[in-house]
Amino acid sequence: MKRIKKIAKRFVSGLLILVILLVVLISMRQNLKFEAPYPDVRASSDSNVINRGRHIVFSQAHCADCHSKQNADSLLELGIEPALSGGRLFDVGIAKIYTPNLTSDSVYGLGRRTDGEIARVIRYGVHANGNAVLNFMGFANMSDDDLTAVVSYLRTQKPVHEPVPSPEYSMMGKTVKAFLIKPVGPSHAVEKHIKPDSSIAYGEYIVTSTTNCAGCHTKRDLSGKFTGPLMAGGNNVEGLISPNLTPDSSSRIFGWSEQTFIERMRLGKINPASPMPWNSFKRMTDLELKAIYRYLKSIPAAKTPAVDE
Ligand code: HEC
Ligand code: HEC
């Protein structure tokens, strides 16, 4: 009996030491630094470049839907461009993340970042301080020209002198951060220039690199890796299931003409609970919407994978 007690005691103290070691290791790994190059991107003061950037920010890349207050969507619906002062809360279960202030404020905003630091965090997912950013954005493959346009527009934002709360991680969140979160960079060599036209190639670029249609309309695992057929839907996004947009007969857009598709995209949000940034996307040009439609018609037809609840 004594022997068993002794063994049990040893076991418990051994376990305790292990837990303490793990907690120490986790806390030591909360500030991991990653290396990534600074893209050769410099803000331009050319008004064409700035206007292009503004268009990408408020339509395709829907930066305002995330980097603004919760009411950004209703302002966008009224045609107002909200300040990119951040502060929207994403409660992802293991962490509460508030989006950063992207205005030119030099204390709380991007006024304190270089062009290279801004471009690097968008392309390589590495913060100015070397930490990995959570993979919310999906713009790693954005062309040099488009990234330059975005940074150029961001530099023209009036400063909003407002702090944003720091992220809060649960113990589980800290464990995930310590061992699993890594920066996500481009999946292939990034193009310098991409000509905007109504081609399938430009549609593919928009869908996969500047709008994140693919990120929501393709089933993914927790780390963000695609596990279902491209654009076949089945993703649970904030409680709503993204529909299939492939040419399959079960697709939501099966039988839609180009005109029907463009009209639907322009209509904006119908289901008020939809997480899709409709009021940004409806600002896309006809050319961009045509390119998306043509690309969606060109990809392999696939059935929607089973949905995880
Ligand atoms: C789906 C939501 C979402 C969209 C869309 C989005 N962002 Fe972000 N962004 C975030 C979140 C969340 C963070 C903070 C992530 C972290 O710190 O782990 C962030 C971080 C950043 C940072 C780092 C800021 C800093 O303090 O260094 C920059 C720069 C940035 N975003 C720019 C943009 C731009 C420009 C766009 C549009 C082209 C954009 N984001 C679109 C959610 C989004
Ligand atoms: C943040 C996630 C998200 C993003 C990004 C997103 N979608 Fe969606 N989409 C959804 C969800 C969820 C639904 C179902 C709810 C709804 O209809 O609004 C949906 C519905 C749709 C529908 C069906 C509408 C209808 O009336 O039946 C179309 C078409 C569509 N998306 C196209 C696109 C295109 C094109 C893009 C990129 C430009 C895109 N989506 C980006 C989540 C997203």
Q: Are residues 81 and 117 in the same domain?
A: yes
Amino acid 222: pLDDT? 75
Q: Is residue 184 part of a domain?
A: no
The first and second tokens of residue 27, run together, are 């806390």
Q: Are residues 134 and 229 in the same domain?
A: no
User: Among all ligands shown, which has an atom nearest to the Cα of 148?
Assistant: 1
Ligand 2 centroid distance, CA of 87 (Å):
24
User: Over pLDDT 90: what percentage of the chain?
Assistant: 83
Ligand 1 centroid distance, CA of 70 (Å):
15
Amino acid 2: pLDDT? 78
Q: Is residue 38 part of a domain?
A: no
Looking up tokens 């089933």, which residue turns up? 219
Ligand 2 centroid distance, CA of 276 (Å):
5
Residue type for position 160? V
Q: Are residues 24 and 62 in the same domain?
A: no
Q: Is residue 188 part of a domain?
A: no
Q: Is residue 187 part of a domain?
A: no
Q: Is residue 193 part of a domain?
A: no
Q: Are residues 73 and 25 in the same domain?
A: no
Number of domains the chain is built from: 3
- The partner residues of 233 in beta bridges, in order of sequence, read 218
Q: Are residues 75 and 170 in the same domain?
A: yes
The first and second tokens of residue 39, run together, are 């893209």
Q: Are residues 114 and 13 in the same domain?
A: no
Domain that holds residue 246: 200-298
- The partner residues of 218 in beta bridges, in order of sequence, read 233
Q: Are residues 221 and 273 in the same domain?
A: yes
Ligand 1 centroid distance, CA of 291 (Å):
26
Q: Are residues 132 and 256 in the same domain?
A: no
Amino acid 309: pLDDT? 64
Q: Are residues 228 and 165 in the same domain?
A: no
Distance, CA of 256 to CA of 112 (rounded, Å): 47
| pTM across the whole model | 0.94
Pocket residues: Cβ below 6 A from ligand 2: 211-213, 216-217, 237, 240, 242-243, 245, 252-253, 264, 271, 274-276, 281, 292
For residue range 119-157, list pLDDT tens digits in order.
999 999 999 999 999 989 999 999 999 999 999 999 999
pLDDT at 1 over 80: no
Amino acid 224: pLDDT? 78
The candidate with the shortest Cα–Cα distance to 179, out of 32, 5, 73, is: 32
pLDDT at 70 over 80: no
CATH number of the domain enclosing 268 = 1.10.760
Amino acid 73: pLDDT? 84
